[in-house]
Chains A and B, each alone.
Chain A
């Protein structure tokens, strides 16, 4: 009996050690840094794993970038990672989408890391320059983002958290890109409602507030527009805001 008990305990110990080694191998596999690619959320977003999460906090915790990636990943790939963040669409759940984007950014370490990067603004502009809201029929070499995703990107830009809006060349470039996307959206109103258009206007409003001298009236109008996440009381105010922004 004593021998049997000993064997059971011994075998259990061996099995436990194997399992521990296996789990360490699995952690190594998931956390191992890879050069030249964005961080992938695949391991947590596959349906069998994602469906086990019972709350927003569990999802957010699962999506954090491993520490050993944060200081090694290039800014370009970090931006792609932030754009691929699974919970990107969460801003649509908020009554003020500017609050929504801040909630996303506060709870994802990818954005915390991006804020530290000196080249974040420039690389974010490169990303914005490389995407298009153009319809698929337009073709071209640009990556086409769907309305929710372009909204996500433009809210990040408008938030002033990653891209500090000021009187510099980056802001001038941002303004140019914003106007191009705004015009595309307006041309395709069957695809882009005011709910998407106003995100471009938010960027424009922020730029004007920080870079030019406005009349008191225009300043109040744009400040209210920004505070309310792009929602105004009168439809014709969008005309006024568009005139100021353009």
Chain B
């Protein structure tokens, strides 16, 4: 009986010290992702894990100690984009990152910045410093620099890069990358609109947050209109549709010009 009570006390004390908690992290465009704050390994467990991986994957480079605090998906999709240290499980939870209105879309291996090993439930990023190699966190094992197939996962992969602008005639002065939060960019119509004789043209600008579907001028977006162009800045990252509707001064609709802009 005494031993039984002692065991229960030991378990209660230990689990109060151990354990993990679910939290929510967010994608670049504000979509929620379920994540966990996990309990760290002991030094003995870390030493054993380090010895195992260094012996069995000698051609990969170990970049950190083993840790249970974060995993491959969190490293590649969350922490690389400024998210907190945490553990993210895969499957439906993870696919939010490359859903149709999110920051990443599918691409080829040569253009990829992020990789998903769909059979191995694993994620990686392309190394920014070593061409042809990936960086990935191997579960509770260390963060590793490795050849794409030199890792403990089946080889089937999908590749992702940052989504490009969706553009229909409205151009942006910053076209080689997404616009940063707080940065002013100029959006302009390149077409030469023929103005009906005796009239002038009115340009009506609107900006919609693609996730919420709401008009964000004055809240998220600050707009300085200059007729057929406007200087616009955003105070929040996301995917927005910027539209310029053109009317005659008599209120007759002529045409619309729009662009989907990535703000990061």
Residues of A within 8 A of B (CB): 47, 50-51, 54-57, 59, 86-90, 92-97, 99-100, 103, 146-149, 183, 186-187, 189-197, 231-239, 242-243, 246
Stretch from B102-110, B135-143, B204-212 at the A interface: B135-143
B241 interface contact, C-beta 8 A: no
B8 interface contact, C-beta 8 A: yes
Specify which of A95, A193, A238 is in contact with B121 (CB 8 Å cutoff).
A95
Q: Is the CB of B73 within 8 A of A95?
A: yes
Q: Residue of A at shortest CB range from B59?
A: A51
Q: Is the CB of B44 within 8 A of A239?
A: no
Q: Residue of B at shortest CB range from A148?
A: B48
Taking CB atoms, residues of chain B closer than 8 Å to A189 are 14, 17-18, 42
Q: Indicate the member of B56, B71, B149 with the most A CB atoms within 10 Å.
A: B56
Stretch from B33-41, B181-189, B256-264 at the A interface: B33-41
Q: Residue of A at shortest CB range from B52?
A: A89
Q: Is the CB of A147 within 8 A of B58?
A: no
Answer whether A235 and B19 are a contact pair too, CB < 8 Å, given A55-B150, A195-B140.
Answer: yes
Q: Is the CB of B42 within 8 A of A191?
A: yes
Taking CB atoms, residues of chain A closer than 8 Å to B45 are 147-148, 191-193, 195-196
Given contacts A55-B150, A93-B153, 13 further A-B contacts (CB under 8 A): A47-B58, A51-B58, A55-B149, A89-B141, A90-B152, A92-B49, A93-B151, A94-B152, A95-B72, A148-B49, A234-B21, A235-B19, A236-B15
Taking CB atoms, residues of chain A closer than 8 Å to B73 are 95
Taking CB atoms, residues of chain A closer than 8 Å to B17 are 189
A83 to chain B, nearest CB (A): 14
B193 interface contact, C-beta 8 A: no
Taking CB atoms, residues of chain B closer than 8 Å to A50 are 56, 58
B12 to chain A, nearest CB (A): 6
Q: Residue of B at shortest CB range from A245?
A: B11
Q: Is the CB of A95 within 8 A of B18?
A: no
B65 to chain A, nearest CB (A): 13
Specify which of A56, A192, A236 is in contact with B153 (CB 8 Å cutoff).
A56
Residues of B within 8 A of A (CB): 7-8, 10-12, 14-22, 36, 38-42, 44-45, 48-49, 52-53, 56, 58-59, 66, 68, 71-73, 87, 89-90, 120-122, 138-141, 147, 149-155
Taking CB atoms, residues of chain A closer than 8 Å to B72 are 95
Is chain A's binding surface mostly helix, strand, loop or mixed? Answer: helix
Q: Is the CB of B39 within 8 A of A194?
A: yes
Q: Is the CB of B49 within 8 A of A238?
A: no
Answer whether A56 and B151 are a contact pair too, CB < 8 Å, given A95-B72, A242-B15.
Answer: yes
Q: Is the CB of A99 within 8 A of B121?
A: yes
Taking CB atoms, residues of chain B closer than 8 Å to A239 are 11-12, 15-16
B249 to chain A, nearest CB (A): 61
Q: Residue of B at shortest CB range from A151?
A: B45
Q: Residue of A at shortest CB range from B42?
A: A193
Q: Is the CB of B12 within 8 A of A231?
A: no
Taking CB atoms, residues of chain A closer than 8 Å to B90 are 95
- List, sorted by A's number, 15 A–B pairs whose CB atoms are closer than 8 Å: A50-B56, A54-B59, A54-B149, A92-B66, A92-B139, A93-B139, A93-B140, A94-B139, A148-B49, A183-B10, A193-B39, A233-B22, A235-B18, A238-B19, A246-B11
